Structure 1
Amino acid sequence: MAGFRALARSGPSALRAEALARDLGATKGSFYWHFKDLPDYLSRLLGLWEERAFDGVIAGLDPALPPRARLEQLCMLAVEFRDPVYGGAQLEPALRAWALSNAEVAQAVARMDARRVAYVAALCREAGITAPAAPVMLYALAVGLEIMGEGEREAGAAMAEMLRRL
């Protein structure tokens, strides 16, 4: 979680063994006891992000809800998933910015985008939303609202309005 907070706060240059260890009150040696090297750490950090930012969000959906209500719940979770322990609202924009200069991060972001859009597409089909562009529009709106730093209430209202129009 310290890596996510550092990335969100200061960008990828903050993801150094010494700086992370110092922030945690640990030694650089203890960092290397847990991770083979910095690339190993960064790879595991990205893997954890992919797990938490997809599986963690999907696990928060109520499977008993009808498809349309689950889609609405997913849209609200997408704009509310801003845990400060996990980097807060700035984590995903920081990851997307980092992806512009790092191929491994760009691949992780592309995988995440594809997984999320595929899941939203499945929910849209189940909910009877047939507009082919709907899944991408919903996802792009969620990403854009996050990058813009919109508050939860404003972002939630925008997502609800898009769903209503679809």
Structure 2
Amino acid sequence: MHTKDARDAGTDSLVQARVLRNGDELRVLNLDYPSEDDLERGAIRNYDYSGPTRLPRRNDRTPELPPGIGQNPMPYPGYGFEFSHGMNGHLTLQLHIRGDDMWIKDNVDLYVRQIRLRATSFDTLAWQEDSDWNYVASWTRDVAMSTDSDEGATRWNLVLT
């Protein structure tokens, strides 16, 4: 997340990113580290939302197993967002500012870690998260955001096409 390096571009208002799949909300992510002044003029911040403690499991086309039924390996990982038809045309990040202190988005880069079913021995499979981040897209249009309609939009959709 890049904040424009311009006068009054930084904000102290909370900005959130809603992760949408085909218009349905999967998760709301706060773009905020309590120990940092996050979205200040010219700031570049990386927000890492990965792993089982940070992301719930949100299936797409893979049906849930009935209660009390297990499978080894499970037909889906224990966490993460499934995009069974890929992310292009299905993923939207909706930025939402929660205050009237204007923020100017400069650039948003999206990277993901995929979770794949892998052989862990000659006869065992397990879901494992990639160790590397994979680049997906960048949205580079400058956008002013604020709950004050004279300063900018309250919400802005970043659509992966």
> Which has the greater radius of gyration?
2
More strand by share: 2
More helix by share: 1
